Amino acid sequence: MTKITGTGCTVSGLIGAYIGASPKSILEDTALIIDSMGLCGELAKKRLKKRLRHWFF
């Protein structure tokens, strides 16, 4: 996720939303969100590689 912009803002917004909805599990929710963003990045990379095979990652 270091090659695109805005992911930090997205993660911060998601963390704030989850904590606002469930303030009792701050650590667990934060870990879940960060892990989910990493998974989304991996899936996006795979899809992009299939569509644009001439790009190098």
Any idea where the domains of the chain sit in the sequence?
Answer: 15-50
Lowest mean pLDDT of 3-12, 13-22, 27-36, name the range. Answer: 3-12
Rounded alpha-carbon distances, angstroms, from residue 7 to 25, 35, 39: 22, 13, 13
Compare 57 and 37 and report the one with higher pLDDT: 37
Coil vs helix vs strand at 24? coil
pTM of the model: 0.69
Residue 34, pLDDT > 90, answer yes
Distance (Å, whole) CA 48 – CA 57: 10
